[in-house]
Amino acid sequence: MKQFISFVKKEFYHIFRDWRSLMLLIGIPITQILILGFAVTDEIKNSEIAILDNAQDAASQNLEGRFRASKYFHIVKMLHTPDEIDREFRKGKIKIAVVFPKGLREDLMHGNKAQIEIVADASDPNMATVISGYASAIILDYQQEIISDNLPYFITTKIRMLYNPELKGAYNFVPGLMGLILMLICAMMTAVAIVREKELGTMEVLLVSPIKPYMIVIAKALPYTLLSLINTTIILLLSVYALKVPIAGSVVLLLLESLLFIIASLSLGLMISTIAKTQQAAMMMSIVGLMVPTTMLSGYIYPIENMPLILQWASHIIPAKWYINIVKAVMIKGLGFQSVIKENLILLGFIVLLIWGSVQRFKIRLE
């Protein structure tokens, strides 16, 4: 029995001495439960909304106040012309626009038909359906108030879905899947490939060879870059011909943006390789440490605006979030490079920071 207890103590000593393993055992479960607990919700709050008030009367002001008071909406823009609606959607500033017609109060007072238009960004069909329902419910609640006051009314809502009028789920599924697959394949395979050389003791042999160290890293990363581009092409072909999701924008731009994201993911894999000591640790860090945050915090499944502020900030350091935004803008909305400059700069920043950090850590470990 004493021998058994001694072996148990030895294992505990090994665990506590290796802080990386300890973080995997304790840190990752805590992180996952916090992310899943706060991020996983079907309720959508604080959706950015713009209002075009053509009426400018008591009825439209009443409805505007109800939207402002609702926890489901955050009014970010008061529009003045119909042309501004499409412009704001293209900028990605709003999720929904509500248009009040001229003479709204007069129509209500005289029992005439008044139609309020709701325009939603259906590149994410689930979100578009839910927030359109919230907006319709606010208008319906106003109708019920009019009924209680015994006033004549006749309000109808016209819902218009931009970019995805048929509300196909694939329009949201494809960009998210592309980000998730490329992130995992590039980061995990690169990290494992480099750690394998260290684990087998062949990295030192490679480093003393006539080939420059950066050439070794490029040689390791290049095959996964090409394979990832092939994966991207396959996903796009299946999306167009099997899932019937058209590419509204430039195919060349979409492939170039995918290449930029692939390089960012490879850089992340390089950073993981400087931290992990074994292939198993690199695999665990890549799958568990990247898959859950990428799935939960990239906006792929759950809207980021629903989350607590700290998780919204955390989502900014998820490269897949910015790539998914790019794919939706180029592939679904048909926008050009000017609309995704911000996302490109952020991904370039990730690449520079990760490569610099990896080089610094690599030098330290060699010393």
- Asked if residue 315 has pLDDT above 90, the reply is no
Instruction: Among 254-258, 289-293, 296-300, 302-306, name the most confident range.
Output: 254-258
- Asked if residue 220 has pLDDT above 80, the reply is no
Helix (H) or strand (E) holding 291: helix 279-297
pLDDT digits (tens, 9 = 90+) for 22-35: 665 566 556 655 55
How far apart CA 18 and CA 220 sit, in angstroms, is 28
Expressed in angstroms, the distance from the first to the final Cα of the chain is: 43
Mean pLDDT of 144-155: 65
Mean pLDDT of 241-252: 87
- Residue 296 pLDDT class (50, 70, 90 cuts): confident
Mean pLDDT of 114-127: 86
**DSSP one-letter code for 101:** P
pLDDT reported for residue 257:
94
pTM over 0.75: yes
pLDDT digits (tens, 9 = 90+) for 274-292: 787 777 778 777 777 787 7
Which one is predicted more confidently, 3 or 210? 210
> Which of 58-67, 111-120, 197-206, 247-256 has the least mean pLDDT?
197-206
Q: What angle do CA 269, 30, 358 make, to 5 degrees?
A: 20
pLDDT reported for residue 49:
92
Q: Are 93 and 329 in contact (CB under 8 A)?
A: no
pLDDT digits (tens, 9 = 90+) for 172-185: 778 888 888 888 88
Q: Based on C-alpha coordinates, what's the Rg of the chain? A: 26
Q: In terms of C-beta density within 10 A (0-12 exposed, 13-18 middle, 19 or more buried), how is residue 167 classed?
A: middle
**What would be the CATH architecture of the domain defined by 47-162?**
3-Layer(aba) Sandwich (3.40)
pLDDT digits (tens, 9 = 90+) for 162-209: 888 877 777 877 888 888 888 888 888 777 777 777 777 666 666 666
- Asked if residue 364 has pLDDT above 50, the reply is no
Question: Residue 64's closest CA among 98, 111, 92?
Answer: 98
* Partners of 118 in the β-ladder: 98, 159
For 61, how many CA atoms within 13 A lie in the half-sphere containing its CB? 3
How far apart CA 315 and CA 242 sit, in angstroms, is 31
Q: What is the mean pLDDT of the chain?
A: 79
Percent above pLDDT 70 for the chain: 78
pLDDT reported for residue 367:
46
3-state secondary structure of 298: coil
In the block, which residue shows the tokens 């945050």?
Answer: 293
Mean pLDDT of 95-115: 81
Q: Are 178 and 231 in contact (CB under 8 A)?
A: no
**DSSP one-letter code for 53:** E
Helix (H) or strand (E) holding 99: strand 96-100
Domain residue limits, the chain: 47-162, 169-366
Mean pLDDT of 78-97: 87
pLDDT reported for residue 147:
66
pLDDT reported for residue 51:
92
How far apart CA 13 and CA 165 sit, in angstroms, is 60
Mean pLDDT of 349-365: 77
Pair of tokens at residue 191 = 């990290």
Q: What is the 3-state secondary structure (H, E, C) of 143-169?
A: HHHHHHCCCCCCEEEEEEEECCCCCCC
- Asked if residue 238 has pLDDT above 90, the reply is no
pLDDT digits (tens, 9 = 90+) for 52-86: 988 888 888 888 899 988 888 889 889 988 888 88
Q: Are 261 and 347 in contact (CB under 8 A)?
A: yes
**β-strands 114-121, 155-162: how paired?**
parallel
Which residue type, as a one-letter code, is found at position 258? Answer: S
> Which of 84-88, 107-111, 300-304, 344-348 has the least mean pLDDT?
107-111
- Residue 348 pLDDT class (50, 70, 90 cuts): very high
Mean pLDDT of 6-34: 60
